Homo-oligomer: A and B are copies of this chain.
């Protein structure tokens, strides 16, 4: 935009949202990144509070062909909310009202800026919860979660975000407002526009309200922690458990490197040595007792130790150890930072041991240390790579490692992202992962956003 155009656009935006627009460099910088390595400075930031404001802003942007990038809490790990082509950032975090809790119809109606944990706090007194629980639940917004089809460790039983979205109110590129679904729990009436918007990272429209299905809170959880001599044996135990018909509410792995790092960080940590599986089961007191027993039996011939945790304090301690992973390495070596690249690959469950071996080879050959953990029950491995960020040479090796892991995942029949999204960070792999299907995504993008103003530069479109 030219300075004159910029100034007249700023005036027009002020007409719509009053003082809730800014082009001060300090503010723009705050909106130029997320938790990934993708950067881009917007020309202005607008903070709409209503659907009508969003619609008017998009009408304006459509007329002047200005890029518009919607943003929730900015916790993304792939640059999805980063305005890589400049233009307007729509900060949706102010639209944060829970509009309706309708337990009798098993649903809630929320604005996109509602924080996931805020929703769960509101549901707790009703005995219900919203199952998708990404690591960032305490800060990330529903809008961002939907736009990335986020999930977290409970989706092995409960499914990802797309299983919980009944209806979206979406403002399209030209400002038109549509509803993609309804209040009914099931429907077979035309194209599933709701699911098309889930995971679209704001490239097809801006979500201004969402109707979400909720689930009854389980009465009881139990945790089986089993340690193995190798990741292969752990992988075998997972396959054996699933083949036996066990459906855990979480199924996580911490590889032995991760466990060693955690132990050096905190010698009193409650984890045994080896490659560790955490199987959580939920249900009633009786059913979880049965399920935990079955999990233990499945692990019995393969594990070197098995422990069943049933009381809240014990389970919290174990989960706290699991959550220490992100922070562990920097406590150990302050010169190293974890960089989020190649951190979210997914493969068919049975290929997890192969993927783990592959990651170790990549780590060895590039000399970049890696901790491997994640949602093994979904085939989703989070790899934590650590480098000295002041060394350009380490950055270069890290980029090579990330490229190798993305290619490995695709070769194993998998995906470059299971739950963090593509954004700008992984856009280069879309062709390789999708082949001719990418052209169809592009055709849909052109059909819904002919001027290409919605979050351009993302998803390899």
A residues bordering B, Cβ < 8 Å? Answer: 102-106, 127-128, 148-151, 155, 159-160, 162-163, 172, 176-180, 182-193, 195-196, 198-200, 204, 215-217, 239, 242-247, 283-284, 286-287, 290, 344, 346-350, 378-380, 413-422, 426, 430, 433-438, 440-441, 443-444, 446-448, 459-460
Q: Which chain B residues border A419 with CB–CB below 8 Å?
A: 186, 188
Asked, given contacts A195-B196, A216-B246, whether A104 binds B239 with beta carbons under 8 Å apart, the answer is: yes
Q: Is B178 touching A160 in the complex (CB atoms < 8 A)?
A: no
Measured between alpha carbons, how far is A187 from B375 in the docked complex, in Å? Answer: 12
Contact call B350/A105, Cβ cutoff below 8 A: yes
CB pair B347–A184 under 8 Å, yes or no, is yes
Min CB gap A100→B, angstroms? 12
Other-chain residue from B177, B242, B421, B446 in contact with A106 (beta carbon distance below 8 A): B242
- Shortest beta-carbon distance from A378 to chain B in Å: 5
Let me know if B246 and A190 touch, CB within 8 A.
Answer: no
Q: Using Cβ atoms and an 8 Å threshold, which residues of chain B touch A195? A: 162, 192, 195-196
Which residue of chain B lies nearest to A107 when distances are taken between CB atoms in the complex?
B348
Is B184's CB under 8 angstroms from A437's CB? no
With a cutoff of 8 Å between Cβ atoms, the chain B residues found around residue A183 in the complex are 347-348, 413-414
Separation in Å of the A345 CB from the closest CB of chain B?
9
Write out the residue numbers on chain B whose beta carbons fall within 8 Å of the beta carbon of A160: 186, 188
- Cα A345 to Cα B163 with chains together (Å): 21
CA distance A433 to B182 in the complex (A): 9
| CB-contact partner of A430 in B128, B190, B413, under 8 A | B190
Contact yes or no, A188 B239, CB < 8 A: no
Q: List 19 A-B contacts (CB under 8 A).
A: A103-B243, A151-B186, A160-B188, A178-B440, A182-B414, A183-B348, A184-B348, A184-B415, A184-B418, A185-B349, A186-B346, A188-B421, A188-B422, A191-B204, A191-B441, A193-B440, A193-B441, A283-B287, A284-B290
Chain B residues near A379: list those with CB within 8 A.
Answer: 184-186
Q: Which of A106, A178, A380, A437 has the most CB of B within 10 A?
A: A437
Chain A interface helix/strand/loop/mixed: loop
CB-CB under 8 A from A421, the residues of chain B are 188-189
The answer to whether B187 and A196 touch across the interface, beta carbons within 8 angstroms, is no
Query: Which residues of chain B are near A191, meaning CB under 8 Å?
Result: 196, 199-200, 204, 441, 444, 459
List chain B residues, Cβ under 8 A from A106: 242, 349
Contact A192 B186 (CB under 8 A): no
B contact residues around A204 at 8 Å (CB):
191
- Contact status B243-A418, CB under 8 Å: no
CA distance A103 to B243 in the complex (A): 6
Residues of B within 8 A of A127 (CB): 244-245
A186, B134: Cα distance in complex, Å? 14
- Other contacts beyond A193-B441, A287-B290: 14, CB < 8 A: A149-B192, A150-B188, A159-B163, A178-B435, A183-B413, A187-B415, A189-B434, A191-B196, A191-B204, A192-B199, A196-B444, A444-B444, A446-B447, A447-B447
In the complex, how many angstroms separate the beta carbon of A112 from the nearest chain B beta carbon? 17
A159: nearest residue on chain B (CB-CB)? B163
Instruction: With both chains docked as a complex, state the minimum distance between the C-beta of A284 and any C-beta of chain B, in angstroms.
Output: 6
Nearest chain B residue, comparing its CB with the CB of A422 = B189
Beta-carbon nearest neighbor of A421 in chain B: B188
Inter-subunit contact B239/A415 (CB<8 Å): no
Q: Judge whether A414 and B184 touch: CB under 8 Å.
A: yes
| A176 proximity list for chain B (CB < 8 A) | 436
Q: By the criterion CB–CB under 8 Å, are B415 and A189 in contact?
A: yes
In the complex, chain B residues whose CB is within 8 Å of the CB of A344:
188
B286 touches A104 (CB 8 A): no
Write the chain B residue with the least CB distance to A106: B242
Could you say which of B148, B159, B186 contacts A378, with CB atoms under 8 Å apart?
Answer: B186
A294 to chain B, nearest CB (A): 9
Instruction: Report B-chain residues with C-beta under 8 Å of the C-beta of A151.
Output: 186
What's the nearest-Cβ distance from chain B to residue A322, in Å?
A: 19
**A128 / chain B contacts, CB cutoff of 8 Å:** 245
In the complex where A190-B459, A459-B190 touch, is A413 in contact with B104 (Cβ < 8 A)? no
- Asked if B199 contacts A216 (CB within 8 A), the reply is no
Please give the distance in Å from A63's CB to the nearest CB on chain B: 19
- Assess whether B188 is in contact with A149, with CB atoms less than 8 Å apart: yes
How close is A449's CB to chain B, nearest CB, in angstroms? 10
Instruction: Tell me the smallest distance from the CB of A217 to a CB of chain B, in Å.
Output: 7
